Structure 1
Amino acid sequence: MSGLPEPKPIREIGGIDRAAFEAEVRPARQPVVIRGLARDWPAVEAGRASPAAAIAYLKRFSHRQPVPAILGAPEIEGRFFYTPDLTALNFQRGQTPLDPFLDRLLRDQGAERPFAMAVQSIPLPELLPGFVDENAIDLLDASIVPRIWLGNEIRVATHYDLMENIGIVVAGRRRFTVFPPEQIANLYTGPFELTPAGTPVSLVDLAAPDLGRFPRFAAAAATAQSAVLEPGDAIYLPFHWWHGVDSLEPVNAFVNYWWNPAPAGLGNPYDALMLALMALRALPDDQRGVWRMLLDHYVFGANGDPVEHLPDAAKGVLGPVTPQLAARMRATLIDALQRQ
């Protein structure tokens, strides 16, 4: 980040078991690099050997069905992002069989200005049946489905996930630059409805931050942490931590595990945010202040349990959320939206 202090290194740890991960790492709510977590994976051994060996290993499991892929012209220099007017994305989405995609990665290794290519976030059991049987970790519940990311030297804009995340480099190298959730005001997010991959992204180019246009980014940069991961290394990203990701080699493979410990059956918080934008954002200031107070009281418990004085049978939507109660609340909301 030119002209700004270098990011601090992300804290690193060595071997760790599931008990220590649950008791020490997750409660700290801080990103951690776990060096060598998957060093014994056959896929990682192939990735360390050479790009060709990594591709050959992946092709052992591939099938002929087309998979989603994205492609950007050489002019974007690997940065999947927006067009200059922020009204469209600067890449194309399409479908491709996996093997030709992998062959193209190898063929373009020496290209001076290659097209930016990526296959992103595909569940591994669907894309590469049998891969997980040979390459697995024991830090997480076996029900969490790993996903794979493949591509060349691409840059993913700083964004956040509404999940906790463990990611593992299989081939190539990846640089992660991370910021805590509270830096949202200093990261200058792009359009809410149009995003490269779901959640809003920062408009700041980490390789060349424009402080004239984005002056508050200097405050975010002061909180930044960064690390480069080699094959077999892993990173843990807590819920909502911002992260920009640079793939540093012409052939890259990455596996990640997303999970959310929130109770099943709840509504999507993003839907609630969208409803709040529709119902609250344009209110007069005095009314918004009242609603902020009510949300703090009833939703976020700023004053403790708002219904501790009520018997359990009378707590209703402010009591424990059961599947039956969640279904009733969902039906009420649907009815209310349809009547507007």
Structure 2
Amino acid sequence: MIPDPDRRTPVFEAVTRELFERDIRPLTRPAILKGLVSHWPAVESGRRSEAALADHIRAFDTGKPVRVVSTEPALQGRFFYNDDLTALNFAQRPGTVSEVLDRLLADLDVTDAPGLAVQAAPEPDILPGFGAANPPPLLGRDTFARLWIGNAVTVQTHHDLYENIACAVAGRRRFILFPPSRTRDLYVGPFETTPAGALVSMVKLEAPDHARFPRFADAWAEAELAELEPGDALYIPYMWWHHVRSLDAFSVLANYWWNPAPAYLAPMPALIHAMMAVRDLPADQRAAWAGMFEAFVFGPETPAGRHLPPGRQGIQGPMDAAAAAQVREILARTLSQPQ
């Protein structure tokens, strides 16, 4: 059993797009959007019965394969690594949304059912028409839903390189959230292999190993709890860590990811490159490079080249798609040279 953090995510009611953009999103903090999608036909179907919601979703299913993940009953639906980090602790196979819905309905009264889920199934390819029947809240029509369908499963603490609105369609969801500033205290797992593509924390919230992860107490001091009922939504800002637990035997969530930054800005490759090129330098050299990063990346005068004529700022000046393409060519050429 995971204890409740001391903090609670604030709740906003009757949220409009104007209110969201003016009063909620600029705070860059999570927010519960109470009843945001309570009018959706999908939510109304779920209130009638699990079977009614399954029928609603099946009506959009193209039958295209999706990734189905499952765990042994003893793992209680927790998707993670095995004990020595040599593999994941769950099985993966292709299946269909309708097949998973049928399995979930058959197991509704089974107390030791295996953990089972379809994760992030994209509406345009897998369930076209779901978004037209259940219009995306607060966002433009070009932002599409991804559906998460399963039973009582747990997604380990992770973060996404997107902003996110997560809408509970059926079943209750329990989120525990941590700000990006606590990344160091969450003890991130391997970059190379992750349960679902996103980096995850190695700390088990139900039983934290404080001897192995002593700084986690600092992260927990800033954790906050958000609990969703069907029809509620949660705004998760960019790169906020979140641990997600589905509490019921039939659970459906639709989420919307978006990133307002231009696509040519790609910070994760830069981080990985810096880990390779800078992190293990001698301490004096690393300190010198910290000054360079402060001057050219994180300093208050960014971009840094304002003292140069506009035509001569080069990569010190504002980045655009053309400049980014030129930089990528330079990096590719530099990295391909033998060391």
Q: TM-score, normalised by structure 2?
A: 0.96
2:48 equivalent in structure 1: 49
2:15 equivalent in structure 1: 16
Task: After superposition, give the CA deviation of every residue in 1:195-234 in whole Å (9 maximum; x if it has no partner).
Answer: 1122221111222223233222222111111121011100
Count of residues paired in the alignment = 338
Do the aligned residues in 1 keep the contact of 2:136 with 2:144 (CA within 8 Å)? no
1:271 equivalent in structure 2: 269
* Compared CA separation, residues 75 and 218, structure 1 to 2 (3 A): same
1:205 equivalent in structure 2: 204
Task: After superposition, give the CA deviation of every residue in 1:149-180 in whole Å (9 maximum; x if it has no partner).
Answer: 11111011111111110010001110001011
Between the aligned partners of 2:6 and 2:128, the Cα distance in structure 1 is: 39
1:106 equivalent in structure 2: 105
Letter aligned with residue 60 of structure 2: F
Tell which deviates more after alignment, 189-198 or 226-235. 189-198
1:164 equivalent in structure 2: 163
Matches within 5 A, 1:1-340: 6-266=5-265, 268-303=266-301, 305-340=303-338
* Compared CA separation, residues 5 and 146, structure 1 to 2 (3 A): closer
> Secondary structure, in 3 states, of the residue corresponding to 1:112?
coil
Between the aligned partners of 2:144 and 2:129, the Cα distance in structure 1 is: 13
Task: After superposition, give the CA deviation of every residue in 1:127-146 in whole Å (9 maximum; x if it has no partner).
Answer: 11111111013411221122
Do the aligned residues in 2 keep the contact of 1:5 with 1:221 (CA within 8 Å)? no
Letter aligned with residue 271 of structure 2: L
Letter aligned with residue 315 of structure 2: V
Letter aligned with residue 204 of structure 1: V
Between the aligned partners of 2:304 and 2:324, the Cα distance in structure 1 is: 19
Between the aligned partners of 1:265 and 1:26, the Cα distance in structure 2 is: 23
Q: State the Cα distance separating 1:285 from its structure 2 match.
A: 0.8
> Secondary structure, in 3 states, of the residue corresponding to 2:214?
coil
Q: State the Cα distance separating 1:88 from its structure 2 match.
A: 1.2
Q: State the Cα distance separating 1:5 from its structure 2 match.
A: 6.5
Between the aligned partners of 1:5 and 1:165, the Cα distance in structure 2 is: 23
> Secondary structure, in 3 states, of the residue corresponding to 1:165?
strand
- Percent of pairs with identical residues: 45
Between the aligned partners of 1:5 and 1:93, the Cα distance in structure 2 is: 31
RMSD: 1.5
Do the aligned residues in 2 keep the contact of 1:167 with 1:257 (CA within 8 Å)? yes
Query: Mind listing any 5+ residue stretches in structure 1 that lack a counterpart?
Result: none
Task: After superposition, give the CA deviation of every residue in 1:279-305 in whole Å (9 maximum; x if it has no partner).
Answer: 111111111111111011101124555
Between the aligned partners of 1:112 and 1:36, the Cα distance in structure 2 is: 30
Between the aligned partners of 2:34 and 2:219, the Cα distance in structure 1 is: 26
Q: State the Cα distance separating 1:252 from its structure 2 match.
A: 0.7
Between the aligned partners of 1:304 and 1:64, the Cα distance in structure 2 is: 49
